[in-house]
Structure 1
Amino acid sequence: MQIVIYDSHEVRPLRSGGEAAFTAVPSAVTVGAFDGVHCGHRRIISRMVSIARERGLRSVVVTFEPHPRRVLGGELTGPLGLLTTLDEKIRLLEAESVDLLFIVRFTPEFASRTSEEFIREVLVGMIGLQSIVVGYDHGFGRGRRGGGEDLRRLGGELGFQVEVVEEVRLEGGHFSSTRIRQLLREGRVEEANAFLGSPFRLGGTVVGGDGRGRGLGFPTVNIRLTDPHKLLPRAGVYVAETEIDGRVWRAMMNVGVRPTVGREGPLSIEAHILGREGSLYGRELSFSLLHFVRDERKFPSFDALSEQLEKDKKTVELYR
């Protein structure tokens, strides 16, 4: 998958590596923030890729970085919110067999452009739009006017086709990034993962801790998030998994403030990786969350905490 960034009217590769110069090529396109790349997103992307193959077009996903709501304000303002970091989004889109990921650097200047300007100058002029697939509730550009009606009007003028994908539901539930965020904030991990189509992930760099877990017999890795705007789920203990050097390890993860230790401050992430020994300091790890075990709480003593951790460990080992 080719990956480029569009910034200040310039297109450049996301990572250097001798990529060919970017040019307009007849393309099937879809546009969106795609936070989470959930099952609803994947249906739209899959349909776009199918059209591209049927018509001999390049398949293109156009997305935005940072998330538009971080620039415009709204639900994602503040430290919590994103279902996927940019790297996680890239990994998920690669699995959808997309030819080109076109990342728009979202700035106040860009936000002021109309949907028509964006369609004419970027989608048609720079990318080579011939067919566009969007969701039933799609809208982009200033005032989110770039919906199906505007697209069809401009498609007739500029010569591109428009397909609107109808709403996708799971057991009567509506697919949306907002709904998934709420499920995670409530600790309803399995439900969130069903909507996502893959496990929600927390990842970052292993950093030093205070060694308290080792003293209790449960050494942990402490994770500094790759993106501080990543959503943190409900505080508590989770069943998780991580891959290290090609092997998948089960882990008992805690998201919270460790009240028994008397720690104060923002939520932290630490995980006890079952059966693995050895230092992981400085490594990049990503954990898949599978199940919410219990809420974080303050214990009357470290012995009581250790006893509960043994029970939690057994829950984590037996989870299937």
Structure 2
Amino acid sequence: MLVVEYQNNDVVAYPSGEPVIFSPVPSAVTIGSFDGVHRGHRSIIARMNAIARSRQLRSVVVTFEPHPRRVLSASASPSPLVLSTLDEKVALLTSLDVDLLFVIRFTDAFAARSSEDFIVGVLVKLLCAKSIIVGYDHGFGRNRTGSSETLLHLGKEFGFDVEAITEVKIGNEHFSSTRIRKLLESGNLSDANQFLGYSYIVSGTVVGGDQRGRTIGFPTVNIKPSDPQKLLPHSGVYLAMIELDGISYKAMMNIGVRPTVSQGNEKTVEAHIPGFSGELYGAFLSFRLLVYIREEKKFATIDELKEQLEKDKKTVELYNE
């Protein structure tokens, strides 16, 4: 999958920022934030890919970075934490056989563009859209005034067709990134993963820690997420999976404030990877969260903590995915 960024009317390569030669190619296009790339998003992308294949078009996902709400609500209510960083979104979309990911750097200036200006200037002239596929409730352009009706009207003038995908549900449950955020924040990882269609991802760079885990036989890697707005789920201990050098390892991950050994309030991420020995400082790691094991708690002594960690490790070792 080719990934490019659209910045100040220029198209550059991601992540290098180098200029690229970008020519219009007849395309099937879908547009959205796609935060989490959940099962609702995947149904839209699958339909776009099917149309692209049947008509020999390039398949294109147009998305925004940062999440538009982080720009539009910057001076109002706090913006939502994101389910997927841009790197995670790239990896998730790569697995869906998309030809091109077109990342628009979302700014106040871009937000001020009218829906018609966006459709004609970007989707038609730059991407050569011949088919545009959107969700049932899609809105875009200044104040989200653009809709599927706007697209249908302009499609007749500029030669593209439009398809709005009906809502996808699990039972009577609505799909939304907001719903998934609430599930993760409450510790309901199982339902969150069902809505996502995959195990929630926590990724970032390995940074130095206090190495306290080594002294009690549980060395950990400390993870700094690449985006400070990445949603870290409910504090506790998780069973996770990670691939290192082509080998899959189970891991026990702690997300929280480590109350037994720390007085701070900052939420941290650390993982113990049984069976792996090697240097990981500076590496970018991606963990999949499979099971929520237990709440984080403060133990009276380090020995009590170590005893519980042994139980957590056994839970991890006995798990079969």
What is the TM-score normalised by the length of structure 1?
Answer: 0.95
- Answer whether contact 1:69 1:76 (CA < 8 A) is retained: no
- The reply to whether residue 223 of structure 1 matches residue 223 of structure 2 is yes
Residue number in structure 2 paired with 1:77: 78
Distance 1:154-1:3 versus aligned 2 partners, 3 A rule: same
Distance in 2 between residues matched to 1:202 and 1:263, nearest whole Å: 24
Partner of 2:233: helix, strand, or coil? coil
Residue number in structure 1 paired with 2:312: 312
- The reply to whether residue 213 of structure 1 matches residue 213 of structure 2 is yes
Distance 1:316-1:177 versus aligned 2 partners, 3 A rule: same
Residue number in structure 1 paired with 2:141: 141
Distance in 2 between residues matched to 1:296 and 1:165, nearest whole Å: 41
- What's the C-alpha RMSD, in Å, of the aligned pairs? 1.8
Q: What aligned pairs does 1:10-159 form with structure 2 within 5 A after superposition? A: 10-15=10-15, 21-73=21-73, 77=78, 81-159=81-159
Residue number in structure 2 paired with 1:276: 276
Distance in 2 between residues matched to 1:207 and 1:170, nearest whole Å: 39
Deviations for 1:105-156, whole angstroms, at most 9, x for unmatched residues?
1000000111111001110111101110001011111111221111111112
Q: What aligned pairs does 1:244-255 form with structure 2 within 5 A after superposition? A: 244-255=244-255
Distance in 2 between residues matched to 1:12 and 1:62, nearest whole Å: 14
Partner of 2:214: helix, strand, or coil? helix
- For structure 2, list consecutive stretches of 5 or more residues without a partner in the other structure: none
Distance in 2 between residues matched to 1:282 and 1:3, nearest whole Å: 24
Deviations for 1:185-238, whole angstroms, at most 9, x for unmatched residues?
111112111111111111111122112112222111111112211110000100
- For structure 1, list consecutive stretches of 5 or more residues without a partner in the other structure: none
Partner of 1:217: helix, strand, or coil? coil
- Answer whether contact 2:12 2:18 (CA < 8 A) is retained: no
- CA drift of 1:85 comes to 1.0
Partner of 2:30: helix, strand, or coil? strand
- CA drift of 1:298 comes to 0.7
- Answer whether contact 1:76 1:82 (CA < 8 A) is retained: no
- Answer whether contact 1:242 1:288 (CA < 8 A) is retained: yes
- Answer whether contact 2:138 2:147 (CA < 8 A) is retained: yes
Q: Which runs of 4+ in 1 moved over 2 A?
A: 15-20, 74-78
Distance in 1 between residues matched to 2:261 and 2:26, nearest whole Å: 59
Distance in 1 between residues matched to 2:215 and 2:118, nearest whole Å: 57
Number of residue pairs aligned between Structure 1 and Structure 2: 319
- Answer whether contact 1:13 1:19 (CA < 8 A) is retained: yes
- CA drift of 1:171 comes to 2.7
